[in-house]
Structure 1
């Protein structure tokens, strides 16, 4: 059987199987002997290149003496997934990073983000997103910019439909950087206020004058899984997109988000703050 090119979610399932084996203190060959398979198959399952059925997953969990039934059930659910999601249409057309982000968001039970340099992608207008992509490090052709904007707007459906609760923590710097100029930013700020009124969206601003700001320097997204062990963090930096999912990393980022939430303005205060920035802009560019 030909080995597949695994998606991010398939790689995550494999990584959790490897973590389960390692916590049991087993080597790959030992687990293979318990399952009656080849060590090569264990390696292929753990790197996501070979599919794992829910039945096989539970067999592995039993062999590894994993007593965390909520985690095992959640992993069995992942193993049973077969239907292709909408973002698969873009595989081979877009780079892997934005598709990975859409996959994380599409399976999340709750989403949180913290952005410093720009408005979070899940709340960007088409004009703002176009300006962001057009000002990237590498110049893009118009059709490529349009493709990326279209993909970003499709990602927004899970938030705007109310399907997935979303907390957007936005630093004041992101509210003032004028991608596309004053008119584009003004429209974007108006859109933020409208989005903040959606029932499953919570928007909170971190002002410049926040004392002892505890946040990181990169833009972050935190996706809650069906159980805490399957949470995922995605971070943007000048070197690209990075995914974190180890228990220690998840604990660290949960603490980071907790500290940011503790100093951010309330929802109502945040709307008023955005309106005050819009008023400044209107006075300056009238």
Structure 2
């Protein structure tokens, strides 16, 4: 099978964990190739996510690396089984690949958490709000591209159906007041937000301006919990597209930001009252 030309972030992540495992054992790629009965080029392809790895070969890799982390090995084994196409594959070539990677990350996460400072989280946006967000991009997107990206964002929200993956949103007051598309769009968005707060598995907590502190640097933060802590992932939005973070030191830093947010944010009930007051201000 030829190497993948464009491996997904999830496929790359599997390869990264394989490389970490090998390097932790102080094994060279040549030594791993010899242990698995393959060549160095194949080892490189697997570690770059450009080639898949079978369950048997993964187990041999773990044994050769003297890895005793059975929970991690089991989680990686499940990743090797995931080769079917999901709904987002129908959007390939129609939206940026980073958007597909986000949908894949959400689908496989054990739980999801966001910290937004400027806009309402994508998984909670109305179609009108989402379209307004995409319409503000510069240079402007063609109308068709805006429509497709909006449809994709709305379809992503199916991951919240049924509450199987708990979702927590910390939303700063700035994001609750920032208008994209005008006051009518924001009023509808806040009403939708209040409805979402009553759905199973969804927790919304507001962070008001009145607090004398704010954790982090103000960037929007998306935290996807993996089946084991080693497979947690943080995604942040940059001008050039989404950035995915999985280095342990950086993950610890973002975990600290999340812990601070949990400590200072309003309770879910107080957050609902707070959002109600903002919505009332818009009506005045």
Q: Does 1:272 align with 2:273?
A: yes
CA displacement at 1:236 relative to structure 2: 0.9
User: In structure 1, what is the Cα distance between the partners aligned to 2:157 and 2:135?
Assistant: 20
- Where in structure 1 are there 5+ consecutive unaligned residues? none
Q: Deviations over 1:6-45 (max 9, x none)?
A: 1211111001000100111111111111222111111011
Q: Does 1:85 align with 2:86?
A: yes
Say if 1:215 and 1:260, in contact at 8 Å, map to a contact too. no
Corresponding residue of 2:16: 15
Corresponding residue of 2:228: 227
Q: Deviations over 1:217-255 (max 9, x none)?
A: 210100001111001100013343110011111111111
Corresponding residue of 2:4: 4
CA displacement at 1:85 relative to structure 2: 1.2
TM-score by length of 1: 0.97
User: In structure 2, what is the Cα distance between the partners aligned to 1:25 and 1:185?
Assistant: 55
Could you say what secondary structure the match of 2:204 adopts? strand
Could you say what secondary structure the match of 2:45 adopts? helix
Say if 2:173 and 2:208, in contact at 8 Å, map to a contact too. yes
Q: How does 1:73-222 map onto structure 2 within 5 Å?
A: 73-222=74-223
The answer to which of 259-268 and 27-36 deviates more is 27-36
- Where in structure 2 are there 5+ consecutive unaligned residues? none
Say if 1:24 and 1:65, in contact at 8 Å, map to a contact too. yes
Q: Deviations over 1:57-80 (max 9, x none)?
A: 011000000000000000011011
Say if 1:124 and 1:188, in contact at 8 Å, map to a contact too. yes
Corresponding residue of 1:37: 38
User: In structure 2, what is the Cα distance between the partners aligned to 1:199 and 1:95?
Assistant: 31
Could you say what secondary structure the match of 2:170 adopts? strand
User: In structure 2, what is the Cα distance between the partners aligned to 1:144 and 1:38?
Assistant: 43
CA displacement at 1:215 relative to structure 2: 2.8
Q: Does 1:259 align with 2:243?
A: no
Say if 1:164 and 1:200, in contact at 8 Å, map to a contact too. yes
User: In structure 1, what is the Cα distance between the partners aligned to 2:82 and 2:208?
Assistant: 42
Could you say what secondary structure the match of 1:156 adopts? helix
CA displacement at 1:104 relative to structure 2: 0.6
Corresponding residue of 1:69: 70
User: How many equivalent residue pairs?
Assistant: 283
Could you say what secondary structure the match of 1:256 adopts? helix
Q: Deviations over 1:169-188 (max 9, x none)?
A: 00100011111101000000
User: In structure 2, what is the Cα distance between the partners aligned to 1:82 and 1:135?
Assistant: 36
TM-score by length of 2: 0.97
User: In structure 2, what is the Cα distance between the partners aligned to 1:31 and 1:11?
Assistant: 18
CA displacement at 1:154 relative to structure 2: 0.5
Could you say what secondary structure the match of 1:119 adopts? coil
Say if 1:236 and 1:242, in contact at 8 Å, map to a contact too. yes
